Each structure stands twice: as structure tokens, then as C-alpha cells.
Amino acid sequence: MPDYSLETQIGGIVAGVDEVGRGPLAGPVLAAAVILDPTDIPEGLNDSKALTAKRRDALLPKILARAIVSIGEASVEEIDEINILRASHLAMLRAIEGLATTPGHVLIDGNLLPRGLTLPATPVIKGDGKSLSIAAASIVAKVRRDQIMVDLAQQHPGYGWETNMGYGSKSHMTALQDLGASPHHRRSFKPVHNILYQGKT
């Protein structure tokens, strides 16, 4: 379970940062940066993947009410142009830059720091299971991205984004084959690319 020990060891104002949406075939990649108030941390924070959708939805307003939160996004076009890793890092940088308070240190989920980050920072492998700040960021990013995909599913029915969130489920792959790619599909991802260019030389 995540705790606040990393933040306490570092001291000062610490932001946790996490991203969601690196694996899907469609939709943007989102990152959140969260500065928790150590005297008022919502109960039940955990890696978003370990929580039900209902629990994540219940925690989001508590995080927004008690913490400093910022969300950054990288578009499908940016993902296709600069690759998904760099786009994920771009979303992280945008989230950090959007914070109303500049942190003294940033905890980044993963093993790499985004290029261009000028603040002191530490990468934390599986950080959403270790740091409460990163766990909070994972919840914010997950809920917000899921909302985006549900909205996009209304505009582009048939792909099942309201349930698969853009990931390559069997039904999504079948729809991609039958309907072709939407403007929100990542053309640099092999399954989408293969369907777009199958039979073409």
C-alpha cells in the first residue's frame, strides 16, 4: 500500500505525477500532478488499477477538494509525431507546469524522468503503489481519461470505447477492422497501422 514516507523524507512541497493511456489504440495520453496536504490526505488512496471505477469516482472529488491538482494531455497527433513515451512525458511536463504552486520536488511514476524537467525529481518504479501523491495522481488521470473516452464513444459509436477505454479489446479490434480508423486512433500503433495499410504497397 502507498504511504507518505517518500514525501516526508524529501520534505517541503512534493508533487506526485502519473500518466494513464500509454497502451490504448485510441485517445490521448493524460498525466496528473498532485500536491497533497499532509494534514488532510483523503483515506483510501491507492494505485488506480487496484481500485474499482466506483471507488475512483468517489475519491476524485475528495482529491480535488483537498489537494493542488493539475492535468496535462498529449494528443493523438502528438503521440503519432513524437512516439508514446515522449508524449507521455510531455503530458507530465504540462501537468507539472500547470500546478498553481511550484513544488520543491517531483516524484515521477516510472524509471525515467521527462526530458526538459527543470525541478528536482525522483523516478519511482511502481510509484502508484508506493507514494500517496503518485497514487492520487493515478486516480485523477485515470478518471479524467475514462471520461474523455466515454465522451468520444458518443461521437464515434461502435468501437466500445465506453467500456474498453481505447484499449485493443477483441470487440475494438473487430470494429476497427469493420469501421476503419477514426480520427482518434493512433496511426503509429501497429494494429491501427496494419488495418489502415493492409493490402497496400
Tell me: is residue 78 an annotated ligand-binding position.
no
> 198, exposed or middle or buried, with CB in 10 Å at 0-12, 13-18, 19+?
exposed
pLDDT in tens, 57-85: 999 999 999 999 999 999 999 999 999 99
Q: How far apart are CA 29 and CA 78, in angstroms?
A: 10
H or E element: which one contains 44? none
Q: Which amino acid is at 51?
A: L
Instruction: Say if CB 158 and CB 179 are below 8 A apart.
Output: yes
Instruction: Say if CB 182 and CB 164 are below 8 A apart.
Output: no
How does the average pLDDT of the chain come out, rounded? 96
pLDDT of 201:
43
**DSSP per residue over 127-189, as a string?**
GGGTBHHHHHHHHHHHHHHHHHHHHHHHHSTTS-HHHHTT---HHHHHHHHHH---TTB-TTS
CA 101 to chain centre: 21
pLDDT in tens, 103-148: 999 999 999 999 999 999 999 999 999 999 999 999 999 999 999 9
Rounded mean pLDDT, 90-109: 98
Instruction: Say if CB 40 and CB 73 are below 8 A apart.
Output: no
Domain-by-domain residue ranges, the chain? 5-144
Tell me: is residue 47 an annotated ligand-binding position.
no
H or E element: which one contains 71? strand 68-74
Rounded mean pLDDT, 12-23: 98
Architecture of the domain spanning 5-144: 2-Layer Sandwich (3.30)
How many CA within 13 A on the CB side of residue 21? 39
Tell me: is residue 3 an annotated ligand-binding position.
no
pLDDT of 195:
86
Q: How far apart are CA 180 and CA 159, in angstroms?
A: 10
Whether this model's pTM surpasses 0.85: yes
Nearest to 32 by CA among 124, 145, 138: 138
